[in-house]
Chain A
Amino acid sequence: MSVGIGSRIFCRDLDLELHAGERLAILGRNGAGKSTLLSVLAGLRAPQAGEVRLKGAAYAELGPRQAARVRGWLPQSRNDAFASTVLETALVGRHPHLDRWGWESAQDAKIVRQALVAVGLADFEQRDIQSLSGGERQRLAIATLLAQQPELFLLDEPLAYLDLKYQIAMLALFADAARESGAAVAMVLHEPALAWRFCDRVLLVFGDGRCECGPTVEMLNTERLSDLYDYPLRVFEHDGQLCLIPR
C-alpha cells in the first residue's frame, strides 16, 4: 500500500505483515508520516493505494465496533474537556465489549483495576484526570488501552512524557503482552536503543516515500540511522545494548 496526505507520499509500495506475538518499532524524523501510517494501520484513515487487512478482513468488512475489539490505538495527544475520575476514564476502554444498553460489570471493573495496577496507577482510582501530571495521564491512556484487550496494539509515541523508569516498564508491559497473550505490537518510537531492546523488527520511514523494514539487528546501524535522522551518528553495541552518540 501507499500512505500519504494530499500530494505528499510518506510510504510508497509498503508491504507489511505483522504476526501475533511480534513487536515492530516505527522510526523516523518529525513529520515523516509515522503517525499517519499508524492511523492507516488502525483503519482511521484510508491508504492512498492498497489496503489494510486485520486477521484477513478489511476494516470496511469488520465495522468500527468489531475492529475495536481486535486492534487498539494509542493516540499521540489527549485533551480532556470535562472532569472525570481515573477509574471512569479507564472503563471507557471496555466500550467495544459492551452491548448498546450494557453497563460496565464487576468483571469489567476487575479488568480495568488490573490495568491500572499494571501501569502503577492503583492508588489513583478516584483522582480527577485533570489533576494528573503528563506522565500519569499517559499511563492512564495506556491502562485504558490495556482494558480494551486488543490483539493488535498500535502505539503512537507510547513513551511521551514518561520518566526513564516508566519508559522501560511500559515497554516491558507490551513485551509481556506479546509473549504471554500473543498480541502484536507496532509502536512509533524516537529511541532506536529501546527499539533494539524491545522490538523484533523495525520499520524506517524516511519521509520521502522510502520505507525499509527488517529485523532490528540488521536495520539499526550507523549508516541507516544517520541517513534516517539526517544527522551523523555513531552507533555501536555494548553489553548487548545499542548505544547512539550524536557527533
Chain B
Amino acid sequence: MPTRHRALIILALLIGVSLGSVFLALVVGSIPVPVAEVFAALLGGPDEMSANVVTSLRLPRALAGFACGGLLALSGALLQVLLRNPLADPYILGISGGAGVGAILSILFGLGVAGISGAAFAGALAAMLVVFGLAHGDGSWTQTRLLLTGVIVAAGCGALVALILSIAPDHQLHGMLFWLMGDLSQAANPGLTLCALAVVLFVTLPFARELNLLARGSDTALALGVRVGALRRGVYLVASLATAAAVAQAGSIGFIGLIVPHLVRLATGNDQRLLLPASVLAGGSLLVVADTLARTLIAPQQLPVGVLTALIGVPVFLFLLARDSRLNTRLNR
C-alpha cells in the first residue's frame, strides 16, 4: 500500500544520489581537481584556474544536465499517463521534431547559441500547437487520435530535418548532428531550465493522485470526480513545455524520457505522487552521469551525451524487458 512515509524515504535517497552525481561531475574531468579544491571553489575559495573550471564550466553544465534530465523524465512520465501507453516518450508527439527543424534552420542561418535555443523552443511550441489543434479538431480527444497526429507530425519534421541536412554546407553538419543527438557542451546558463523544472514539478504534483486515476482510464477518473478534459489538456501543455525547455537547452537527448519512468516504476510502483518527483531526481542524475562520461571517455574530445544515454539506455531497457514479467505483460497488451 502506498504511504507517504515510504515515498519520503525513497525521495530522500534519490536526493542523495542526485547530489552525488553532481559532485561526481564537478570532480571528474580532463583537468584533475582534488575533492578539497572542489569544496573550496564551491564555497567561493581562491580564484585559481581549477576553481574556475569547477564553478564556471563544470557546475553550470552539471546543473543544466540535471534540469534537462529531470524535465525529460517528468515529461515522459506524464505522457505515459496521458496516452496510457508505456511506450510513450517526450518526443512521441513531435515536440523534438519541431524543435529540431527550428534549431537546424537557425544553425543553417548562422545564429548563435541563444538563437538556436530560441528557435528550438519556438519550433517545439509550433509542433505542440499543430498537434493539439489537429488532434482536437472535432472536439473529441482520444489517445489514439492524439498519438497518431503526434507521430505523423514527428515524421514530417524528421523529413524536413533530413532535407536541411542534405543541403547544408559541410562545415555546419557537425554542429547540426551534435544538436540532433543531444549535447550539453553549449549549456552555459542553467538558471532558466532549472526554473522550468521547478515550475513544472510545482504545477504537476498537486494533481498527482488525479493522474493515478487518469492512468486507470478516463471512465474511472470521471466517475471518481476528476475533471478529465481539463486535466488532459493541462498535462499535454505541461509535458510539451517541459520537453521544449529541455530540448531548447540541450538538443534532443533520447531515452531519458522513456527509460527513467520505467526504471522508477519497476522500483517503486506506479503511484504518480512518488513516480513524478522520483523520475525527476533519477532522470537528472542519470543525465549528469552520462554527460560526465561523455566529456571524459575520449577527452579532450567530447561525445554528444544523447549517444551515451542511448548506449546506456538500450541494454538496460532490453535487460529489464527480458527479466521483468510485469513489464512484459504490460507491453504485450
Task: Indicate if the CB atoms of A64 and B227 lie closer than 8 Å.
Answer: yes
Give a binary string over B214-245; 1 marks a CB under 8 Å from any A CB, 0 the rest: 01110110111111000000000000000000
Task: Indicate if the CB atoms of B223 and A89 lie closer than 8 Å.
Answer: no
Give a binary string over A99-120; 1 marks a CB under 8 Å from any B CB, 0 the rest: 0110110000100000000000
A207 interfacial contact with B, CB 8 Å? no
B60 interfacial contact with A, CB 8 Å? no
Task: Indicate if the CB atoms of B217 and A73 lie closer than 8 Å.
Answer: no
Within the complex, which residue of A75, A82, A95, A104 is in contact with B2, where a contact is CB–CB below 8 Å? A104
A98 interfacial contact with B, CB 8 Å? yes
The size class of the interface chain B forms with chain A is 20 to 34
Size of A's binding interface in residues, CB under 8 A: 39
B333 interfacial contact with A, CB 8 Å? yes
CA distance A44 to B222 in the complex (A): 7
Within the complex, which residue of A65, A78, A130 is in contact with B329, where a contact is CB–CB below 8 Å? A130
CA distance A95 to B269 in the complex (A): 18
B296 interfacial contact with A, CB 8 Å? no
Which residues of B sit under 8 angstroms from A42, Cβ to Cβ? 223
Task: Indicate if the CB atoms of A82 and B86 lie closer than 8 Å.
Answer: yes
B282 interfacial contact with A, CB 8 Å? no
B49 interfacial contact with A, CB 8 Å? no
Give a binary string over A49-84; 1 marks a CB under 8 Å from any B CB, 0 the rest: 000000000000001111111001101011111111
Q: How far is the CB of A144 from chain B (nearest CB, A)?
A: 8
Which residues of B sit under 8 angstroms from A73, Cβ to Cβ? 222-223
Task: Indicate if the CB atoms of A82 and B219 lie closer than 8 Å.
Answer: no
Which residues of A sit under 8 angstroms from B55, Cβ to Cβ? none
A128 interfacial contact with B, CB 8 Å? yes
Known contacts A81-B84, A103-B2, A103-B3, A130 near B330 by CB under 8 Å: yes
CA distance A103 to B225 in the complex (A): 17
Chain A minimum-CB-distance residue to B212: A92
Task: Indicate if the CB atoms of A81 and B333 lie closer than 8 Å.
Answer: yes
5 shortest A-B CB distances, which residue pairs? A68-B225, A73-B223, A81-B84, A75-B219, A65-B225
